[in-house]
């Protein structure tokens, strides 16, 4: 998948432009995210923002969970927090998370989208609006269709899109919905998506 000159060469070129990674997951998402993101390489550079559907009113334990398993910085995405390299950001429960033109986060209490708040669509559409071709979006396991539209809009804005292979997802509805709307650039099992991420970060470093 890495060889330059292969049919994927344009993909490698597009990887170099990436400055932010947005990831969405729902049912089965905690394990999927651990497989994808635990122990990222020491030299990891890209900022990564993650929406995992959570029940409202429950504080997310994800930042603590990943802080233990990660050598990069891990934060809950607070209001107006600037987006910085080498950091994983998790959306807090009960708020929509957006990316602002100033390259910081904003939160909002707008009504749930597809029964979800935070909504993956809201994050991805706002991030695509700001980052365009410098955004990569990944959609993982999930039991509803949130994120499919977001991933489509990332693709339309010139960004890179990837979905977990539905046949390998604990809950295939979410990646399947994404595939039905617009074929992502990359469709792989989690191990392949992790390779994709690491390759992208290496390209970004060059």
Partner 1 sequence: MSRTSGERDGRPPEPSEDAPDDALPGALSVNDIELRLLMEAIFLRYSYDFRDYTGASQKRRVHYALGQMELPSVSALQERVLRDPAMFARLLQYLTVPVSEMFRDPGYFLALRQQVVPHLHTYASVTVWVAGCSTGEEVYSLAILLREEGLLERSRIYATDINPESLAQARQGIFPLEAVRKYTANYQRSGGKRAFSDYYTAAYDAARFDPTLCADVIFADHSLATDSVFAQTQLVSCRNVLIYFNRALQDRALGLFHESLSHRGFLGLGSKESIDFSSWAGRFDTLARSERLFRKKS
How large is the greatest C-alpha to C-alpha distance in the chain, in angstroms? 50
The label of the residue with tokens 């122990």 reads: 39
- Work out how close the CB of 186 gets to partner 1 at its nearest, in angstroms, rounded to a whole number: 22
Considering only CA atoms, which of 96, 178, 167 is closest in space to residue 144? Answer: 178
- Work out how close the CB of 79 gets to partner 1 at its nearest, in angstroms, rounded to a whole number: 5
191/14 Cα distance (integer angstroms): 21
Binding site for partner 1 (CB under 8 A): 76, 78-80, 92, 95-96, 98-102, 106-114, 121-122, 125-126, 129, 132-134, 149, 153, 156
- Work out how close the CB of 101 gets to partner 1 at its nearest, in angstroms, rounded to a whole number: 6
CA angle 165, 197, 36 (to 5 degrees): 60
Is 26 part of the annotated catalytic residue set? yes
Is 53 part of the annotated catalytic residue set? yes
Q: State the number of CA atoms in the 13 A half-sphere of 57 facing the CB.
A: 0
182/205 Cα distance (integer angstroms): 29
- Work out how close the CB of 59 gets to partner 1 at its nearest, in angstroms, rounded to a whole number: 9
For residue 62, what are its two tokens?
Answer: 């994800």
Asked whether the beta carbons of 36 and 197 are under 8 A apart, the reply is yes
Given the residues 70, 98, 126, 146, the one annotated as active site: 146
Is 146 part of the annotated catalytic residue set? yes
**Cβ proximity to partner 1, 29 vs 92, nearer residue:** 92
166/145 Cα distance (integer angstroms): 13
Tell me the catalytic residues: 26, 53, 146
């Amino acid at each position: 998948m890495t060889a330059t000159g292969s049919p994927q060469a344009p993909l490698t070129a597009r990887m170099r432009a990436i400055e932010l990674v947005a990831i969405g997951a729902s049912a089965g998402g905690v394990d999927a995210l651990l497989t994808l993101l635990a122990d990222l390489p020491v030299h990891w550079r890209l900022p990564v923002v993650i929406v995992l559907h959570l029940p409202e009113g429950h504080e997310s334990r994800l930042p603590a969970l990943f802080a233990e398993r990660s050598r990069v910085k891990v934060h809950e995405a607070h209001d107006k927090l600037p987006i910085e390299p080498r950091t994983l950001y998790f959306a807090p429960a009960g708020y929509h998370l957006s990316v602002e033109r100033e390259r910081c986060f904003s939160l909002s209490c707008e009504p749930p989208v597809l029964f979800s708040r935070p909504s993956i669509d809201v994050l991805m559409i706002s991030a695509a609006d700001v980052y365009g071709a410098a955004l990569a979006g990944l959609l993982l396991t999930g039991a509803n269709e949130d994120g499919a539209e977001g991933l489509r809009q990332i693709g339309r804005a010139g960004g890179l899109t990837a979905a977990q292979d539905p046949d390998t997802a604990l809950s295939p509805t979410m990646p399947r919905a994404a595939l039905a709307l617009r074929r992502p650039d990359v469709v792989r099992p989690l191990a392949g998506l992790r390779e994709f991420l690491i390759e992208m970060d290496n390209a970004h470093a060059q």
